Amino acid sequence: MNKTIAIIGDNFMQAATFKQALEAKLDNTFDYRLMDLPFPDEPIIQSSDNPEYVGLAEYQGEIDAVIDIAKDAHILVTHVAPISARVFTELNLLEMVVVSRGGPVNVDVAAAKANNIKLVNTPGRNASAVAEFTVGALISETRNISRGHHALMNGRWRGDLYRADVQRDELSTMTIGIVGYAGIGKQVIHLLSAFGSKILVTDPYSELSQEDIDHGVRKVSMDELLKQSDVVSLHARLTNETKQMIDKTALAKMKPGAIFINTARGALVDYEALYNSLTSNHLSGAVLETFPEEPLPADSKWLTLPNVTLTPHIAGASKTTVIVAAKMAANEVDRHFKNLPPVNSCF
């Protein structure tokens, strides 16, 4: 009897792409059960008060549907489906869950461990995509690309963007502060090295590589980074410790006229305090890719600010991300059936 692999994909991480990667990697024949959720055409749910979903974040779909598609499965591969405690208790054949994202926020991790189910994820799958996006967004903001485009699309020629009191310095003259020295932060540093920027890093849990030290990257305290940086780019993981780490006090320490970039998570920032810093012109601009509430409401006050570049949480979306994640997932399943330890265990 063949073992069964259930795959719950979506319109970004498609189930068929996972299946293709699995078939290319696995030696044996498996039965597959596939389903795609409507993400990202429909937004994910940030959190819910429903007791069955408490503790799960950034998910889409119904638990009953997960159980139905995976009822005979030995392996469950997903991206954003909700994997609650009931999933682990009702799926008696389940051996392993693969979550194709940097953190298994849509999974009850404690329940997986209690039921002796392997749980793995795909950290770093979109690090290159987010790093490229961050640098592109930084250039767009500092060189007024998005403002010039928006004005032209609305029939206005912004010749004033050439004014000396509007222009900003080039990246080669800027000090850029990177908050979080993990996969994305490291790749942002690598890309920025081509521009000759001065790079500062703060991260209490990581040490700089010798290569970055040799290229002049300096590790400093958060206070020093905020005070010295012309641009602060946020790349920290969301934990209880980092929630709203960029608050009113932190923003006040930033250089007048500095730029703030968030391509990480909305909950890392006190957005009300950030709004005040931008409207008071303490900060000259911001690039915001993530928000406390997503999707951003149509009447959001953020849409009225002239000194921000806003994008709808798309930094990690690239074809390369999909291919990398699918291959990482397939590798973990292959290792499981070969009785090898997982590469990226979640506990």
Catalytic residues: 265, 294, 313
Query: CA 337 to CA 7: how far, in whole Å?
Result: 17
Query: CA 209 to CA 339: how far, in whole Å?
Result: 33
Query: CA 271 to CA 269: how far, in whole Å?
Result: 6
Q: Which long-range contacts (CB under 8 A, 24 or more apart) does 24-29 make?
A: 24/330, 25/327, 25/330, 25/331, 25/333, 25/334, 26/330, 26/333, 26/334, 26/337, 27/334, 28/2, 28/3, 28/337, 29/2
Query: CA 228 to CA 174: how far, in whole Å?
Result: 10
Bridge partners (DSSP) listed for residue 199: 176
Indicate the length of the chain as a whole number. Answer: 347
Output the CA–CA distances (angstroms, integers) from residue 288 to 138, 238, 342, in the order listed. 11, 16, 35
Give the CA count within 13 Å in the CB-facing half-sphere of 164: 0
Q: 63-99 burial string, b = 16+ CB within 10 Å, else e? A: beebbebbeebbbbbbbbbbbbbbbbeebeebbbbbb
Token duo for residue 85: 């405690």
Specify whether the CB–CB gap between 143 and 170 falls below 8 A: no
Number of H helices, E strands in the chain: 12, 12
Amino acid at 238: L
Specify whether the CB–CB gap between 218 and 201 falls below 8 A: yes
Give the CA count within 13 Å in the CB-facing half-sphere of 155: 0
